[in-house]
Amino acid sequence: MASSSSSSSSFSSSVGDRAQGLAARARSVRFPLAAPSWPTAVERPDPERKIGLDYDHEWSRRYPVRLARAVFMDNITRPLARVLAPPTVRGLEHLRHLDGPVIFAANHASHIDTPLLLTTLPVELRHHTVVAAASDYFFDRKWKSIMWSFALAAIPIERSKVNRRSADTAVELIKDGWNLVIFPEGGRSPDGWTQPFHPASAAYLAHRTGRPVIPVFLHGTRHVLPKTPEDSGLPPGGSGTESRRGGRLRRAPISVLFGAPLSLDEGENTRRFSGRVEAAVATLAREVDGDWWQARRSVSAVDPVEGAETAHLGPEAPAWRRSWALDGRPSDRGHTSWPE
């Protein structure tokens, strides 16, 4: 027993030594194998930006890449998504008779939202849809830009401010026949509750292109891939009692609900239309725990903008109460995602 323990400890120490040796060798790699250092006396020019909004993603829509993405999505991403997050999908009938491209406007709680949404789309839409992704997160490295452009047909958009260039790109693609997935909140919800929709998002694109918006509600995705503690704004270290489980995949069921297409009414401005889209998503949220009629009745349809439906935004209360109201007691979980 003693000898087995000593041999296992010597094995682990030799592995450790080897790993340290490799690390030391990696550190000792010098120019030209490693990147050159920059002389102090020389001013660094602004790097030629080829990532972020400047990333050239045109390649990701060429036919061979689309074919490869379709194979990848149907044979790898979709089966994995089904295992990891078995979905309940409702409202697919709204997508059956679409004539031309549409804009999918969804709530956003997790990075996993996009692949889960894409994999629940009917096949004729799934492979002809691009995703508006935050340029500062998904396109901040070359490798990430390539990966997301390939896997999700992502295009970079500016989420911190209105950017004509990224909007123009999205408009061109929609006019070119591509469906677009966009998250009008501009980022993932910090606490699970929906944030107000930006009018300069789905509504603006609908206004520019004349194409309808399909409201989408994703439920439960934040349990599949929660935000990391850093994403949630928790300071490093902390008291030690915060949840550090964010950023890891966990198996959990989800629901994806598609609403009826919404188009701008004559004379309707984008702000008002954005409110209507937001209200439609809120209605879908209520359908998770009930049926369409109940949901429809509980949401005021009289004036979708003037505060008729704000329940999906959560109570104006301290953080713990918002969380409490969102998740509720375990026994009430099934009824608390979108409280009455």
Partner 1 sequence: MSRRPGFVLEVDKSTPPTLFWNGEGFTLETLPEGSRVIYAPEPMKALDDPYGAIRHALLHPVGDRDPLPALLHAGMKLTICFDDISLPLPPMESPDIRQMVIETVLDMAADAGVDDVMLIAALALHRRMTEDELRHALGDRVYDAFAPHGLLTQHDAEDPDNLIFLGQTEAGEDIEINKRAATSDLLIYVNINLVAMDGGHKSVATGLASYRSLRHHHNPQTMQHSRSFMDAPASELHSSNWRMGRFIAEAGVKIFQIETTLNTDTFPSSFAFLQKREWEWNVRDRATYAATSKSLRAAPPRLARQIFHSIESPHAMTSVQAGEVEAVHAITTENVWKQQGVDVQGQTDILTLGLPYICPYNVNSIMNPILVACLGLGYFFNLYRGKPLVRQGGVLILRHPTRPEFHPGHHPSYIDFYEQVLTQTVDPVAIHKQFEESFATDPWYIHLYRTGHAYHGVHPFYMWYWCAHALEHLGRVIIVGGDPKAVRRLGFSPASSLNDALELASDVVGPSPTLTHLHAPPIMMADVH
Inter-residue contact 221 to 85 (CB < 8 Å): yes
d(CA 75, CA 79): 6
Identity of the residue, 38 or 63, whose beta carbon is nearer to partner 1 in the bound complex:
38
Tokens standing for residue 100:
């031309």
Phi, psi dihedral angles at 173 (to 5 degrees) = -65, -40
x-or-dash string of contact with partner 1, 41-80, rule CB under 8 A = xx--------------------------------------
Helix (H, G, I), strand (E, B) or coil at 133: strand
Question: Which segment (38-46, 91-99, 190-198, 240-248) binds partner 1 by CB under 8 A?
Answer: 38-46
Q: How far is the CB of 314 from partner 1 (least distance, A)?
A: 48
Single out the residue of 4, 27, 28, 36 in contact with partner 1 (rule: CB under 8 A): 36
Beta carbon of residue 32, minimum distance to partner 1 (angstroms, whole number): 4
Considering CB under 8 A, how many residues would be counted as binding partner 1?
11
DSSP state of 44: P
User: Does 39 interact with partner 1 (rule: CB under 8 A)?
Assistant: yes
In this structure, the strands spanning 103-106 and 154-157 are: unpaired
Structure tokens at 152: 């999700």
Which residues from 5-34 bind partner 1, rule CB under 8 A?
31-33
Residues in the chain: 340
Q: Quote the radius of gyration of the chain (alpha carbons, Å).
A: 24
- Non-local (6+) Cβ contacts of 150 within 8 A are 60, 65, 68, 69, 72
Which range, of 37-45, 77-85, 116-124, 135-143, touches partner 1 by CB under 8 A? 37-45
Q: Which of 3, 5, 37, 243 binds partner 1 (CB under 8 A)?
A: 37
Residues that bind partner 1 (CB under 8 A): 31-33, 35-42
